[in-house]
Amino acid sequence: MTDTAAAPATGSAPARWNDYVVLLKPRVMSLVVFTAFTGLICARTPMSPTLAFVAVLCIAVGAGAAGALNMWYDSDIDGLMRRTRARPIPMGKVQAADALGLGVVLSLLSVMMMGLAANWLAAGLLAFTILFYVVIYTMWLKRSTPQNIVIGGASGALPPVIGWAAATGHAPPNAWLLFLIIFLWTPPHSWALALYTAGDYAKAGVPMMPVAKGAASTRRQILLYSLAFVPVAIAPSFTGLGGPLYLAVSGLGGLMFLLLATRLMRSGSGEADGAQDGLYSVKAGSKDARNLFAFSILYLTLLFAALLAEHALGLAPLVQGLKGLS
């Protein structure tokens, strides 16, 4: 990527260094860093700040590498969708082969460094996460089943477990509870977005739930997943992980989440014809889908922020001494 092979397609601007940063999906990376750091802190195990920093950096770089490999493989369909057509490969700024090289090199470096800085359980989990996202989700599930983001969501849910494993060398049930929170959060979050971007997915041949099963079925499944998700989101209050602040945030936020999911279920979101202008500029019929999508991001952020805040403030968990959970 440093020679003229990086030269863009005729007529477009030459690749800048920050085009390669865009390949790493910085916004996704920031959420991954946040949840991984929360997992590391929740482990309540003393760790060298330097090694903790390196461990989180490895998770961030590993996630970025997975993002680059995703953009390499999906470069054919990214150009067809409004949300992704401005990415560096469809724009002709970066060649797909360069994204592949960047992704492979960063994957190897991040996993090896994690093993050296923390431990090989964390490194193994990081390698599994990258492979799962690229091979299982991107290459296999994404284009073949409407359950793509349900199963593929596992890769996005693993960072807190990796953070926990980096700090302690093991992954107890409470770490997997954080995994389960993100895992069950992913379907309502992604399908709410898909309800008002279904046209794009259909054009690209990606069988997202609204494309494959229709809007009504998707709205019903969003509500069902929300009913499963909210109790799990509240559960850390009773497993020795969350304190009173977490209980308040997860409980009140959970009620709001269910309210929005119910409103979405009763709405006609995803039914109307016409294209949206962007993620936050949607036709009136899809307002309920947009509201749930936006609130889902806020809710997940608040859940992990509450856990971090409680640890920073030294607030004790509501339930103590549940052996084997942490």
Partner 1 sequence: MSDPLNEEPEAAKARRRRNLVLGLALTAFAILTFVVTIVRLGGHVADRTF
Angle between helices 49-73 and 159-168 (to 10 degrees): 150
Name the residue nearer to partner 1 (CB basis): 19 or 310. Answer: 19
Smallest gap from Cβ 92 to partner 1, in A, equals: 13
Name the residue nearer to partner 1 (CB basis): 22 or 222. Answer: 22
Are 193 and 203 a contacting pair, CB within 8 Å? no
Name the residue nearer to partner 1 (CB basis): 113 or 157. Answer: 113
Smallest gap from Cβ 94 to partner 1, in A, equals: 10
Query: Residue 32 carries which side chain, given as an amino acid letter?
Result: V
Name the residue nearer to partner 1 (CB basis): 100 or 151. Answer: 100
Name the residue nearer to partner 1 (CB basis): 99 or 234. Answer: 99
Are 250 and 237 a contacting pair, CB within 8 Å? yes
Name the residue nearer to partner 1 (CB basis): 108 or 318. Answer: 108
Name the residue nearer to partner 1 (CB basis): 3 or 277. Answer: 3
Smallest gap from Cβ 53 to partner 1, in A, equals: 10
Query: Residue 201 carries which side chain, given as an amino acid letter?
Result: Y
Q: How far is CA 280 from CA 85, 203, 276, in A?
A: 17, 20, 9
DSSP bridge partners of 207: none
Smallest gap from Cβ 20 to partner 1, in A, equals: 8
Structure tokens at 132: 């799962």
- Cα angle 309, 311, 315 (rounded to 5 degrees) comes to 90
Smallest gap from Cβ 58 to partner 1, in A, equals: 10
Binding region for partner 1 (CB under 8 A): 1-4, 6-7, 13-17, 20, 48, 50-51, 54, 57, 109, 113, 116-117
Smallest gap from Cβ 59 to partner 1, in A, equals: 14
Smallest gap from Cβ 30 to partner 1, in A, equals: 19
